[in-house]
Amino acid sequence: MAETGAQANLPEADRDLADQGLLRTLVHATYWLDDGLQAYMKKHAGLSLPRAQSMAMVYLTEGVDRPSDLALKLRVSKQATQQALKELVNKGMITMVPDPNNGRQKLVQLTDHGRDMRHLAKQALAEMETELARRIGAGPVSQLRAALGADWGPSPIEQA
């Protein structure tokens, strides 16, 4: 297969990934970002989160505040979500409060420590994006953001 101009600039291992299809490439990119975020947090805050907790924090900082909604977003069981939330409570990053609209449910709120970690994570992601633009160019990063942010519509499987 002939390499595109963008593939020719990639290290050999990453060129091989480009031939593996979109899903593998997206997973690799997600892990690259998460691994970088974890290393940054470890260096600057003295802690990092397992991937499940890290992904939960992504949605929590976007306003998903019900454990059941979080489980749907993460596509994991409610039990797995509860375990991740319990560990985040133990780390002082979130608190669980009664839902004023439904006494049987809880809402998740970031603590001051959790908000500090969110701010630090935003710094980390901005620095990683700058580094990615340095490595592959600002144009491809902008195109990537636009392509991934576009409305793809429902999954083809959902339409069947």
pLDDT band at 3 (very low <50, low <70, confident <90, very high): very low
Q: How many Cα neighbours within 13 Å face the side chain of 17? A: 15
**Is 81 a member of any domain?**
yes
Size of the chain, expressed as the number of residues it contains: 160
Query: Cα separation of 73 and 155, whole Å?
Result: 15
**Is 33 a member of any domain?**
yes
**Is 152 a member of any domain?**
no
Q: Give the contacts of 106 (CB within 8 A, at least 6 positions apart).
A: 66, 67, 96, 97, 98, 99
Q: Give the contacts of 140 (CB within 8 A, at least 6 positions apart).
A: 6
Query: Cα separation of 132 and 135, whole Å?
Result: 5
The pLDDT tens digits of the residues spanning 72-111 come to 999 999 999 999 999 999 999 999 999 998 888 999 999 9
The pLDDT tens digits of the residues spanning 113-156 come to 999 999 999 999 999 999 999 999 999 999 999 999 999 998 88
Six-digit token pair at 108?
A: 């998740």
Alpha-carbon separation of residue 36 from 9, 94, 123 (angstroms): 21, 23, 12
> Quick one: pLDDT at residue 2?
45
The pTM for the full model equals: 0.73
The structural domain count of the chain equals 1
The pLDDT tens digits of the residues spanning 54-65 come to 889 889 988 899
**Is 64 a member of any domain?**
yes
Position with higher pLDDT, 5 vs 14:
14
In CATH, what number is assigned to the domain containing residue 83? 1.10.10.10
Query: Cα separation of 131 and 29, whole Å?
Result: 14
**Is 20 a member of any domain?**
yes
Position with higher pLDDT, 10 vs 44:
44
Domain of residue 119, residue span: 11-135
**Is 159 a member of any domain?**
no
**Is 23 a member of any domain?**
yes
The pLDDT tens digits of the residues spanning 14-49 come to 555 556 688 899 999 999 999 999 999 999 999 888
